[in-house]
Amino acid sequence: MRPGRDAEITLKTLPGRTLAAKVVAALPFTPQGQLATSGEIPLAPNPQTVAQPHGVLLELVDTDAIPSESMQSIALGRIPGEAVGSGAIYTDSVTATLLIRRIMVRMQAWLNYVLPY
């Protein structure tokens, strides 16, 4: 997740659209570092712990792909804070799966029409 890597994201608020992006930075947090409202202290990770997602700061490359007519209350190029979706960061390793992941990201973008939430 080095800065400058290519990435693509899809957002549930923009079904059918795939947005190109660049990695700006990997953020130093994971969901494991958050405390539960119950007050329970989280367990320390061990070798059997499943990896958690990382925070990554992305910069949109093609802000023109965000249509202003579908987001009338939001300025062009702005995405609401509650927007969720999926994406991929493309690296130099395992390049054989790059095409498959690109197809999966686009399929998810179209599935957002069918399963918006």
Answer whether residue 67 shows pLDDT above 70: no
Answer whether residue 44 is part of any domain: no
Nearest one of 20, 14, 2 to 59, comparing CA atoms: 20
The rounded distance, in Å, linking the Cα atoms of 3 and 67 is 27
Answer whether residue 82 is part of any domain: yes
**pLDDT score at 6:** 92
Answer whether residue 39 is part of any domain: no
**pLDDT score at 106:** 92
Q: Name beta bridge partners: 85.
A: 11
Mean pLDDT of all residues in 43-57: 74
Three-state SS annotation for 38-102: CCCCCCCCCCCCCCCCCEEEEEECCHHHCCCCCCCCCCCCCCCCCCCEEEEECCCCCHHHHHHHH
Structural domain boundaries, residue 106: 6-29+52-114
**pLDDT score at 108:** 92
Confidence of residue 77 (pLDDT cuts 50, 70, 90): low
The rounded distance, in Å, linking the Cα atoms of 101 and 105 is 6
What are the pLDDT digits (tens) for 84-116?
A: 888 899 988 878 888 899 999 999 999 988 877
**pLDDT score at 91:** 87
Window from 8-17, 27-36, 79-88 with minimum mean pLDDT: 27-36
Q: Tell me if the pTM is above 0.75.
A: no
Half-sphere exposure of 61 (CA within 13 A, CB side): 13
Answer whether residue 46 is part of any domain: no
Answer whether residue 23 is part of any domain: yes
